[in-house]
Structure 1
Amino acid sequence: MMEMSNKLKKVDRSKLSDRVHSELSSLLISGQLSPGDMFSLRGLADTLGTSAMPVREAVGRLVAERALEILPNRAIRVPLMTVSRFLELRTIRIELEGLATARAAVNRSQKQLTRMQDIQMQFEVARKAREPNGKAAVRLNKNLHFCVYGAAGMPILFDMIEALWLQIGPVLNYDLAVNSERLVNRQAHIHHKNMVDGIKMKQPESARAALVADLMSASELIIQKDVLSPG
């Protein structure tokens, strides 16, 4: 079973189920969990300092959202990612995240643009380290993308994208954390820079094209590495 104590923080007693759901969602979306990671209901409850009931409720919601699964032995697992599911998620992400990126180029504020540029620079620092910091890159990649999607000013679309990332987030470990290829050859940084530049210049199609290029280059690398399950 996976050791979760160094990744989760204790939560208050109020609205425990929602807060446990939020904690687990954050780990999934940010790529801090990987496909196949397993843990137990009791282990989660002990780590969070709460009873099993709110954890069971939160896990049930994440199972319904296809972000977690419960195995016959009652262990909780981050689902394995099949090739067909991965490609379907990629197709949907291109449409929804592409729309959000294009709208961000029109609707972003100066404050939001400055935040994007700051995260982009942090990503470049992680890339330039003597040993590229893949874990930091995964976190910054998520922060940049969601900063862009938030700037679209479309909360329903944002929630839909977040639901997709519950499923796709763990696979990002295969891109930037496990493999540093896209960091070393600057592919990810170039696509990010082009996306932010398009948003800065208020060029929706340019920003969207950079976003699509980023998703495609990441997905092609993951498929080439043969880390997905058949199907």
Structure 2
Amino acid sequence: MTKLLNPLPPRGTLGMDVLNRIKDLLLTGRVMPGERLSLRSMAEALGVSMMPVREAVYRLISDQALEVAPNRSIRVPVMSAEQFDEITRIRLLIEGYAVREAVAHVTPALIQSLRDLNQELALRMSEGGDSLGKAVLVNKALHFSLYETAHMPMLMKIIESSWLRIGPVLNYDLRSGSERTENQTAVGHHARMISALEQADADAAAAALQDDIRSAYCYIVEKQWPKKAPDVSVQSALS
């Protein structure tokens, strides 16, 4: 993780800046399940003392985004198939709801921004290699810019909490150069969603978003837990 951290600029609230920087690594899946974290190394990489890093890490532990291993080291949680099923069902509900609520606030500028992000996502997927890391960042920006349009801060906190848990697992989708990446499956779902948003069709927009979540879920279950069949309740939820 530490090689992904750069020194913080000398501005803002230090504790919150540190927390947001570590959150961003989790949200965008740039750390792996089971990866151990060194508070000292993170503090050195960020150019800060141990105190704000320790406070940020223990706040993330309380949110279950990080955990204390049996040997007392801090690590990114290793998610079970059952936990992944549960979080995916929750995501289908709350992110679908966020899209529905956002429809009333959609503007032409947002539509253009979403299209630009989706085109960049397609480009990064086509380039492959190191660009897949950038694809993860673009995908997160696309989703969150839409969810924020709902103007529901509490809902955003719930969505962020689920992404903090799910982000590291998504390494196995966008970062792996999978068939979904080669076929730009997410780009197609996003395009459908954006068209529905432009037409103020909340049902179609939410359905496209949920299809995006389901397709990633099925791929990850197949690769991470090959002996486990995808949860039928996830596949059929809200269909």
TM-score, normalised to structure 2, is: 0.88
Name the residue aligned to 1:218.
216
TM-aligned CA deviation for residue 13 of structure 1: 7.9
Give structure 2 stretches of 5+ with no counterpart. 229-239
Considering only aligned residues, what root-mean-square deviation do their CA atoms show, in Å? Answer: 2.1
The answer to whether 1:27 aligns with 2:25 is: yes
Cα separation, 1, equivalents of 2:37 and 2:222: 29
Cα separation, 1, equivalents of 2:33 and 2:72: 17
AA matched with 1:54:
P
Cα separation, 2, equivalents of 1:39 and 1:180: 28
8 A contact 1:69–1:76 mirrored in 2: yes
| Aligned residues between the structures | 228
Name the residue aligned to 1:161.
159
Q: 1:130 to 1:229 in 2, by over 3 A?
A: closer
Cα separation, 1, equivalents of 2:158 and 2:75: 23
TM-aligned CA deviation for residue 226 of structure 1: 2.4
1:134 is aligned, of 127, 132, 135, to: 132
> Map of 1:37-186 to 2, 5 A cutoff?
37-129=35-127, 133-186=131-184
AA matched with 1:126:
R
TM-score, normalised to structure 1, is: 0.91
Give structure 1 stretches of 5+ with no counterpart. none
Name the residue aligned to 2:198.
200
Can you list the C-alpha shifts for 1:150-203, whole angstroms capped at 9, x where unaligned? 112222211211111111111111111024211212311111111111111110
TM-aligned CA deviation for residue 86 of structure 1: 0.5
Cα separation, 2, equivalents of 1:153 and 1:49: 34
Cα separation, 1, equivalents of 2:191 and 2:13: 40
Provide the identity percentage: 38
- SS of alignment partner, residue 101 of structure 1: helix
TM-aligned CA deviation for residue 121 of structure 1: 0.9
Cα separation, 2, equivalents of 1:13 and 1:53: 17
8 A contact 1:35–1:79 mirrored in 2: yes
* Poorly superposed stretches of 4+, deviation over 4 Å: 227-230
Q: 1:14 to 1:184 in 2, by over 3 A?
A: closer
AA matched with 1:23:
R
